[in-house]
Amino acid sequence: MKKAYFAISYSNRKLFDNEVNGLLNLFKKYNIELLVFVDNYTFKKDQEKEMMKTAFEEIDSSDFLIAELTTKSIGVGIEIGYAFAKNKPIFYLRKKGSEYSTTASGCSNTIITYENEMNLVEIMEKQLKIILKN
């Protein structure tokens, strides 16, 4: 089974419930595990090193990384940089009208600008079909 690591800001995660749930359902349809790191792990303030070690291990075990950066996030930027260094394909997601990250786009294989959850799922489904052919 293929696995995708989903990077999103912990502090803004709840703002993207519709998008995340839409992607979870889509990936399930294609038998791909979508690991939403901030939904699957909880760390205390003094566990920063353990958190990053765990995040890097999960990225290492993933086939590709999806980064939601409608709202910029240093943590997601670090995850993108790590995945880039490990030659993982990276999908940079952002809502139309949000600030564009040249750093994220410079590391990404695919940039997806979407209008809403349905539009995101539609675009991502096309990308998944390409991934699964390879």
For residues 133 and 9, give the distance between their C-alpha atoms in angstroms, rounded to a whole number: 30
Which numeric CATH code is attached to 2-133? 3.40.50.450
pLDDT at 1 exceeding the cut of 80: yes
Domain boundaries, the chain: 2-133
**Half-sphere exposure of residue 28, counting CA atoms within 13 Å on the CB side?**
6
Q: Output the pLDDT for position 133.
A: 83
Cα dihedral 102/105/111/115 (nearest 10):
-30
Chain segment 55-101, per-residue pLDDT in tens: 999 999 999 999 999 998 999 999 999 999 999 999 999 999 999 99
Mean pLDDT over each residue of the chain, to the nearest integer:
95
> The whole model's pTM is what?
0.94
Residue with tokens 């995708």: 4
For residues 112 and 69, give the distance between their C-alpha atoms in angstroms, rounded to a whole number: 10
Whole-angstrom distance between the N-terminal and C-terminal Cα of the chain?
14
Element spanning 23, H or E: helix 17-29
Q: Which amino acid is at 89?
A: P
More confident residue, 134 or 73: 73
Q: Which residues pair with 32 in a beta bridge?
A: 2
Do residues 92 and 83 make contact, with C-beta atoms less than 8 angstroms apart? no
